[in-house]
A and B are shown apart, each in its own frame.
Chain A
Amino acid sequence: MIRVVLPAHLRLLARVAGEVQVEVEGRATIASVLDAIEARYPMLCGTIRDHVTLKRRPFVRFFACEQDWSHESPDAPLPDAVASGAEPLLLVGAIAGG
């Protein structure tokens, strides 16, 4: 079970409060977690990563265990603490705009 913290706008869109939890098959990676998030909450498709290229949207960041995972390969294994559910994966909207 993976714990994921969504940005406030996406929590509203997905109609969830607080953290969401998803199961992934095999190794927990950014890609596999996002696959699971989008399968459960299809309205989030395209809001975190591009529909076609699957590239992260520029103003979205991925944080885990106090590290920035935004520039890591989406297929890189996430830390054990995230994979075990001890720590959440944070999806963060960049502080920008007016």
Chain B
Amino acid sequence: MSQVRVLVGTRKGAFLLTADGKRDKWEVSGPHFGGWEIYHMKGSPADPNRLYVSQSTGWFGQLIQRSSDGGKTWEPVGNKFVYEGTPGTHQWYDGTPHPWEFKRVWHLEPSLTDPDTVYAGVEDASLFRTADGGQSWQELPGLRGHGSGPRWQPGAGGMCLHTILLDPSDPARIFIAISAAGAFRTDDGGATWRPINQGLRSPYIPDPNADVGHCVHRIAMHRSRPNVLFMQKHWDVMRSDNAGDQWREVSGNLPTDFGFVIDVHAHEPETIYVVPIKSDSEHYPPEGKLRVYRSRTGGDEWEPLTKGLPQGDCYVDVLREAMAVDSLDSCGVYFGTTGGQVYASADAGDSWAPIVRDLPAVVSVEVQTLS
């Protein structure tokens, strides 16, 4: 029988939530790495028992943990992330040049075909890769050095490379996103990169239509249509039908088009999910109502999903890594909150129930569908 494993990263440790295909009874394992910030953990599509975890604290820095048995045991692997060559500078918050400095790993994206190959998105923004199961990491310097790097500037959360999408139809094509630089694409396996931000409009930067400088929060794709991308930007939900060459806004009737997460239904490429958040500075749900919005038309037309979610006095946030879907016949949707709840829907969002309510603030949620 099918099984689902939800990988939850929090401010104070990692948790694994498992259930059978009905997804109504859950076992909770954790905290693993108690007291450490878990920005992200993800399993290898090529070997679901191979898990990778980004673990860090302000005291002791960055660690990478690896499991080869589905999270029963762990081993620390390489944690040396060194930029290639002379790192150079990006812009600091005040516009002055600031040296590139490694701070942490925000996102780990295992290869679709090789359990030992993993991409790491880091702050200050750059992309690293391991081909030996995490023992050693090498930068792909073509991204940071492609030309616009000296103009990148951190968002309030830091200058992080937070999204990595591997094209299932073309191993040489990778999409990434950086706050607050924008989205970028390589078509040659990471050697060369170019910004793909045409159509984005950001009134909070000097040139709202600039080629870089946009605060992209998250990008999602359906693996059957890797040229169609959906983006939750710092204001605006966007869509591209040509692999990011051009974007158009699909915010439609959302109550606010600010938010962090965005994801795509496992079997319906035009069904997408967001969680609208009030901003600029509040960062909690509008009206204290926690609502997932679903579009079955690839954007523009949205419906609120509220059944089982708190519809009053709710002031949690849902951070950019904290939504995922499973691939069971009835698509499961999951998201975590800064209030420590992880909500699950086994019916594509029609109804929701909390798996857990009282974890530390949730930073990331990933799901593995196991057979």
**Which residues of A come within 8 Å of B, CB atoms?**
7, 9-10, 13, 43, 45-48, 51-52, 57, 59-60, 93-94, 96-97
> Do the beta carbons of A47 and B82 come within 8 Å of each other?
no
A50: nearest chain-B partner, CB-CB: B61
**Which residues of B come within 8 Å of A, CB atoms?**
35-36, 57-63, 76, 79-80, 82
A52-B79 Cα distance, complex, nearest whole Å: 12
Given contacts A9-B35, A9-B36, contact A57 B80 (CB under 8 A): no
A57: nearest chain-B partner, CB-CB: B61
Residues of B contacting A13 in the complex (Cβ-Cβ under 8 angstroms): 60, 63, 76
Chain B nearest CB, measured from A92 CB (Å):
10
A57-B58 Cα distance, complex, nearest whole Å: 9
B11: nearest chain-A partner, CB-CB: A98
Residues of A contacting B59 in the complex (Cβ-Cβ under 8 angstroms): 7, 9, 57, 59-60, 93-94, 96-97
Residues of A contacting B79 in the complex (Cβ-Cβ under 8 angstroms): 45-47, 51
Contact of B80 among A10, A45, A96 (CB under 8 A): A45
> Do the beta carbons of B60 and A51 come within 8 Å of each other?
no
Given contacts A45-B80, A52-B82, contact A96 B58 (CB under 8 A): yes
Chain A nearest CB, measured from B362 CB (Å):
16
Total contacts A to B, CB within 8 angstroms? 44
> Do the beta carbons of B58 and A97 come within 8 Å of each other?
yes
Closest 4 CB pairs of A and B: A47-B60, A43-B76, A59-B59, A93-B59
> Do the beta carbons of B82 and A51 come within 8 Å of each other?
yes
Chain A nearest CB, measured from B335 CB (Å):
24
A14: nearest chain-B partner, CB-CB: B76
Q: Which of A43, A45, A97 has the most CB of B within 10 A?
A: A43
What is the predominant secondary structure among interface residues of chain A facing chain B? loop
Residues of B contacting A57 in the complex (Cβ-Cβ under 8 angstroms): 59-61
Residues of B contacting A10 in the complex (Cβ-Cβ under 8 angstroms): 60
Residues of A contacting B63 in the complex (Cβ-Cβ under 8 angstroms): 13, 43, 46-47
Q: List 6 A-B contacts (CB under 8 A).
A: A9-B36, A13-B63, A46-B61, A57-B61, A96-B58, A97-B59
B35: nearest chain-A partner, CB-CB: A9
Residues of A contacting B76 in the complex (Cβ-Cβ under 8 angstroms): 13, 43
A51: nearest chain-B partner, CB-CB: B80
> Do the beta carbons of B60 and A60 come within 8 Å of each other?
yes
Residues of A contacting B61 in the complex (Cβ-Cβ under 8 angstroms): 46-47, 57
Q: List 20 additional A-B contacts (Cβ < 8 Å) besides A48-B60, A96-B58, A97-B58.
A: A7-B59, A7-B60, A9-B35, A9-B59, A9-B60, A10-B60, A13-B63, A13-B76, A43-B76, A46-B61, A46-B62, A47-B60, A47-B61, A51-B79, A51-B82, A57-B61, A59-B58, A60-B59, A60-B60, A93-B60
A59-B61 Cα distance, complex, nearest whole Å: 10
A94-B63 Cα distance, complex, nearest whole Å: 19
A18-B57 Cα distance, complex, nearest whole Å: 22
Residues of B contacting A52 in the complex (Cβ-Cβ under 8 angstroms): 82
Chain A nearest CB, measured from B72 CB (Å):
16
B60: nearest chain-A partner, CB-CB: A47
A48-B79 Cα distance, complex, nearest whole Å: 13
Chain B nearest CB, measured from A67 CB (Å):
21
A59-B58 Cα distance, complex, nearest whole Å: 7
Residues of A contacting B80 in the complex (Cβ-Cβ under 8 angstroms): 45-46, 51
Q: Which of A46, A52, A57 has the most CB of B within 10 A?
A: A46
Q: Which of A7, A9, A10, A97 has the most CB of B within 10 A?
A: A9
A41-B61 Cα distance, complex, nearest whole Å: 16
B81: nearest chain-A partner, CB-CB: A51
Q: Which of A7, A13, A52 has the most CB of B within 10 A?
A: A13
